[in-house]
Structure 1
Amino acid sequence: MGRGEIQQAHRPDGSTTAFAELNAAAALAAAQLPAAWLLWWVVEVTGSDDYGIGYGGAFGLVCLFLFAPLILPVLGLLHAAAHIGPAGALARLAANRLRGPRWAWHLLCATAVGAVWAALTAVLWGRPFIHTAAAAAALGVLPVLGLAYGRGRARETGQVWRAWSVWLRSALLSAALFMLVIVVAVPATVMGLIEEYEPPKLPAERLAGVWRGEDGAVLRLHSGGGAQVSKLPTQSESGDWYPDPIDMCDGTGSWSPGEQGGRDAVLVRLDGGCGRDTYWTIGGTEHEPELFVLFGDPDAADLRILKRTS
């Protein structure tokens, strides 16, 4: 009998108590979260506009290392209780009544339960259903297959792991998965397999139109070069970063294509002495373009975004 292992009674299918199953599922679910988060971060940072603010998510990466031992067990338990556990109960019923291996039913049921949670988040918070359901299905694979391995091992040897032994293996597995993502993601980014974000190239005729912000700001760019604004944030006349670098302006002015920080932008000049000339950088995508500007300290900037209205 290996270190950290104990002889325990188990069911004919290899499963043990409900607590042992939940504990193992939580450990397996927690093991994959750092690697999953890192993969998401690489894709998100590489493929989306960071608007030139902050540290590109590096601060979140530092927090992950510092607080992972405290946060991961809780997140793993929540994942197991809300996703893997209910799917396992459904899989046991299906395997008892229908043909097929229990692990296959567990995967299918985990996908179904994940779809239910994806639908709920889509209704409550507007999250994209397909992406959320796919992520939930992917996050269910390792816990389900890990539990299946544990049941098979119990059937063959009559041994199951102690509660803390499962978490020790979870920590080692988590580190291995994290390193695997680094080894795969970095070359993939360098080779261009993960597509990098490119701001859209908008000609003057596409820049003309109405742009609106969430705080009620309106910027109307006329095709002849004129501009009308309402509650539009601009760099203050003082030019100071502190305490308030923004003037909110109403009125008319002019605009012209320009460049800011190596990116295409729109230079807005207002009449009447309200605010200074302000560059609005072009961002977003070809189908959903945006104009944005940063006010204040670049490390803690006030980001304002305008979106094109149809």
Structure 2
Amino acid sequence: MRWGDTWRPKRSGLSWVNAELNAAAAVCAAQLAVVCAIWWVGTFDDDTHGAGSGGGLAAVGLLCMLVFGPLLLAVLGLVHAAAHTMPAATLARLATRRVRGSEEAWHLVFVAALGVLWAAVAVVLGGLSPPGTTALLIAASGVLPALGVAYVRRRELATGRVPRSRRIWVRSALASFGACVLVAGAGAVGLSMGLIKEYEPPKLSAGQLAGVWRGDGGAVLRLRAGGRAELTKLPAQPEFGDVTTKDFTRCHGTGSWFLDTEGRYDPYSDAYDEGDPAARDGVVVQVADCGHDTYWTIGGSERSPELFVLFGDADSGDLRILKRD
């Protein structure tokens, strides 16, 4: 006897069973937590652009994540279950009434179909790309929750009762916590052993820096080979008297620039100490009568270099990035 047929007489309606909804939501919340942990490990070799060096707001952010993170994950899990997993379960039940096959298999088929539909919505409304990858990820996000629903149904067949919702959520929380610890531990070990390399900014010469750099708000910085700089709506450090009133000003006109490879002007080095190993190469842009000298730190990669400035506080400052035209 097929599994899909054994439970059908007990579920003649199309309404969702509470335990099944909670199982789908709990499994989705658990996998989201693991995905976040994997994403965090993946940022070990990312350029932080000088942000987060302060400890106060970082500690507050971590505390908020620990307090409100589980609740947020639970809400996202419920939304995912209500919009993806359980509608697919309803469609699977309707399909087994008209055609042959296991309801469990049909559930996975409709999970994939709804994944493509929600991916199309995400691409159209959110501009996510590429569409194929988005569809694959959204469809895959419903597989484990669908298996969680299948487990609840099989458990009911075996014992005659469904698992309690509280027990489902507790087990999901414990499983996700253990998986996150393993992912974080593996990332830490990989970082210490050199398997995961920390980010290293590119080393660019003055000749490589010469060219046109563009940023948000119409910002344009043209670095000429002879040390001349041409600016259009370019963010710049405000004058010392304006520091408390605004984070940056915008400059137009012409000025000069030079490459700093000794860390003398790097605002992220320790007390601007020359020779600080944490100091980074950058471009110092000087414009008369328009703010103070601005240090554009070199970031990105050799293939896709960037120039950036973090105005204001390191934890909550205004990050401005220029990319080569």
Structure 1 residues 245 and 69: alpha-carbon distance in aligned structure 2, compared to 1, 3 A threshold = closer
Residue 308 of structure 2, aligned match among 292, 302, 305? 292
**1:156 is matched with which residue?**
158
In structure 2, C-alpha distance between the alignment counterparts of 1:142 and 1:184, rounded to whole Å: 23
- Counterparts of 1:210 and 1:251, CA distance in 2: 15
1:18 counterpart SS class: coil
Unaligned runs of 5+ residues in structure 2 are 1-5, 270-278
Instruction: Give the TM-score of the pair, scaled to structure 1.
Output: 0.82
Judging changes above 3 Å, is the alpha-carbon distance between structure 1 residues 239 and 13 closer, same or farther for their aligned structure 2 residues?
farther
Q: Answer whether contact 2:231 2:253 (CA < 8 A) is retained.
A: yes
- Relative to the length of structure 2, the TM-score reads 0.78
Matched-pair identity in %: 52
- 2:29 maps to amino acid: A
> Once the 2 structures are TM-superposed, how far is the Cα of residue 230 of structure 1 from its aligned partner?
1.7
Cα gap change, 1:89 to 1:196, in 2 (>3 Å): farther
Q: Which residue is equivalent to 2:71?
A: 70
Secondary structure of the 1:178 match is helix
Q: Equivalences for 1:1-310 in 2 at 5 Å?
A: 11-12=7-8, 18-20=16-18, 21-43=20-42, 45-54=43-52, 60-93=61-94, 101-128=102-129, 129-194=131-196, 196-238=198-240, 241-259=243-261, 260=266, 261=269, 262-270=279-287, 272-309=288-325
Q: In 1, are the aligned partners of 2:96 and 2:102 still within 8 Å (CA)?
A: yes
**Deviations along 1:234-254, whole A, 9 cap, x unmatched?**
223327641224332222122
More strand by share: 1
- Supply the distance in 2 between the matched residues of 1:126 and 1:104 (Cα, whole angstroms): 32
1:283 partner letter: G
Task: Give the structure 2 partner of residue 4 of structure 1.
Answer: none
SS at structure 2 position matched to 1:165? helix
8 Å Cα contact 1:15/1:151 also seen in 2: no
State how far apart, in whole Å, the 2-side matches of 1:201 and 1:98 are.
Answer: 64
Q: CA deviation at 1:40?
A: 1.6
1:276 aligned counterpart, secondary structure:
coil
Deviation of 1:291 after TM superposition, in Å, equals: 1.0
> Could you tell me whether the CA contact under 8 Å between 1:234 and 1:249 is conserved in 2?
yes
Greater displacement, 158-167 / 227-236: 158-167
Distance in 2 of aligned mates of 1:14 and 1:282: 65
Partner of 2:273: none
* Structure 2 Cα separation of the partners of residues 14 and 178 of structure 1: 37
Point out where structure 1 has 5 or more consecutive residues left out of the alignment. 1-9
Structure 1: distance between partners of 2:59 and 2:116? 31
Distance 1:238 1:61, change over 3 A: closer
Structure 1 residues 207 and 107: CA distance shift in structure 2, 3 A:
farther
Counterparts of 1:195 and 1:118, CA distance in 2: 33
Q: Distance in 2 between matches of 1:264 and 1:13?
A: 71
Output the CA distance in 1 between the equivalents of 2:74 and 2:151.
21
Question: How far does residue 112 in structure 1 lie from its aligned partner after superposition?
Answer: 3.2
Q: Distance in 2 between matches of 1:31 and 1:236?
A: 46
| Aligned counterparts of 2:117 and 2:300: Cα–Cα separation in 1 | 30
**Matched letter for residue 265 of structure 1:** G
Q: 1:298 to 1:165 in 2, by over 3 A?
A: closer
- The Cα RMSD (Å) is 3.0
**SS class of match (1:263):** coil
Distance 1:68 1:153, change over 3 A: same
Q: Which amino acid aligns with 1:278?
A: T
